[in-house]
Structure 1
């Protein structure tokens, strides 16, 4: 039975092949829900994972989820091949080219949420099709606070369904280029306000290596704002999954409070947690750094980030 601090995370679970200017690795754990669930596990329990994997999904990845206490009752096992993604990062590590995407088991996937985990109060709709996000929303009967992510593909090919999602969520997380594309402006402050107008009470625009901006509606034309810096890294090995880790840590932190509602201050703190955890993900391929964290390491980075961004 789920508890008041439970979080349920649905999205893709993938096998990745990543190439950077300095290295290359294959058969990596990937997918939006994979990163998000591991990040959330540092803050709260239980973390329920919802997704689909194929017959070729590596056993060691399943064992990793188990080792983090992530429940897999909501993960469907298919006889097909797992969703896989192959990409290459360029010199600045911000731009990447997708080399190959094999949809495989995702093609006809319909989200199923077992009743035993459907009462989790915090629901995370990690990056997946808006149709799948709506299916999950319908099944999560205990939802009190819903966080969703999206991407440029869904903005382009599933815009109407995406707008349905926005009307039913509390917090939207989106990166800066997608925010600009979605609402048709290059100004991120204007973009944040326009996104609030589409339904969510809160919007977080991710700025990559420059942090994030939180917008919270307050009944006026000027929403409350919070600008969070990113933790400064001297080296970036693989930024894949950093945004998903941000999402999971944010949601995990909120769930850990056990509250029914969250203030602007609560969500502001959650954004900072997300920013710090995302920084670890960038330091190694896949979840290799993310999966080895300790709370003390997270707390050290939180303290350092505060020291370089705070003034009297």
Structure 2
């Protein structure tokens, strides 16, 4: 089944203990789509400026992606983010943000309306709600961040009541629910409307909550973490791409998709920017999936 991704495309400047890169490809829609394209047909909607390199679109087109929702704003530059990671690299320090084309809401072609799976990447809840009205997907998942929890809480709660699934990190889950215990936070998030909640825990894996069951999974054990930027979006792309490929949200499918999501994220963190996902193929994903399966087997 096809999968629509609506989000940001950016140029990042990132510094970690392993080096620094400037003006490299980034953005939630890019990481998500590169990850999801390893599993299923992806349809992308995002705004880009007149200064964004074409090579990433060429790669996605080769993987069968529909790029008709990519809108080039000729008189504006691309969204830019600059950040720094220190220590264990679990948190990024934002140094600079330039919204540029990100200040304009993305437009989704009518042809995207029939896709059963939709991912609304990290954007304002007002933009996510407006996008949701145009995309009547059967399974709509969304991401959010602390900024929208603080400034658009009421709109975010309205959105959550209409979602099939929510994907967020542990800090955001605690902030949104007021619960310090993540098991309680997962239950509280289900009470707000979504049928599926995934709480990402970075290097410690992820929790999945559904009414009928809970599931916990460690991250794929990688000894080489160079740049965590985009890992969460890559996890979401692998997770939803796998679900779209299987065409199911049964417990067995959700468990498998969680494992494929964490495996896909492991490809991202081993390189700066999108290098790991660009070089990846399904064969490598499946190899790591088998390794993770052996790692967690009791």
* Class of the TM-score when normalised by the shorter of the 2 chains: over 0.9
Match for 1:286 among 273, 295, 298?
273
**TM-align CA RMSD:** 1.2
Determine the structure 1 residue equivalent to 2:67.
Answer: 72
Determine the structure 1 residue equivalent to 2:165.
Answer: 171
- Structure 2 gap segments, 5+ residues each: none
Match for 1:128 among 107, 123, 127?
123
TM-score of the aligned structures, taking structure 2 as reference length: 0.97
Q: CA deviation at 1:94?
A: 1.1
SS of the residue aligned with 1:301? helix
Distance in structure 1 (CA, Å) of the matches to 2:107 and 2:282: 32
Match for 2:258 among 271, 275, 278?
271
Q: CA deviation at 1:175?
A: 0.4
The equivalences for 1:201-280 within 5 A come to: 201-218=195-212, 224-259=213-248, 262-280=249-267
Determine the structure 2 residue equivalent to 1:221.
Answer: none
SS of the residue aligned with 1:214? strand
SS of the residue aligned with 1:174? strand
Distance in structure 1 (CA, Å) of the matches to 2:204 and 2:271: 19
The equivalences for 1:138-149 within 5 A come to: 138-141=133-136, 143-149=137-143
Q: CA deviation at 1:165?
A: 1.2
Q: CA deviation at 1:62?
A: 3.0
Counterpart contact for 2:37–2:60, Cα < 8 Å: no
Deviations 1:58-117 (A, max 9, x none): 23333333333322111111121111100011021112210100011122x133211122
Distance in structure 2 (CA, Å) of the matches to 1:302 and 1:61: 25
Structure 1 ranges of 4+ moved more than 4 A: none
Counterpart contact for 1:112–1:139, Cα < 8 Å: no
SS of the residue aligned with 1:289? helix
Counterpart contact for 1:111–1:135, Cα < 8 Å: no
Q: CA deviation at 1:282?
A: 0.3
Q: CA deviation at 1:245?
A: 0.4
Counterpart contact for 2:246–2:253, Cα < 8 Å: no
Query: Which structure shows the bigger proportion of residues in helix conformation?
Result: 2
SS of the residue aligned with 1:55? coil
Counterpart contact for 1:110–1:135, Cα < 8 Å: no
- Structure 1 gap segments, 5+ residues each: 219-223
Counterpart contact for 2:77–2:101, Cα < 8 Å: yes
Determine the structure 1 residue equivalent to 2:33.
Answer: 37
Match for 2:192 among 178, 187, 198?
198
* Greater shift in the superposed pair: 50-59 or 236-245: 50-59
Match for 1:84 among 73, 80, 84?
80
Distance in structure 2 (CA, Å) of the matches to 1:207 and 1:6: 27
Q: How many residues align?
A: 297
Q: CA deviation at 1:22?
A: 2.1
Deviations 1:128-169 (A, max 9, x none): 11112112111113x111111111111111111111110111
Counterpart contact for 2:142–2:163, Cα < 8 Å: yes
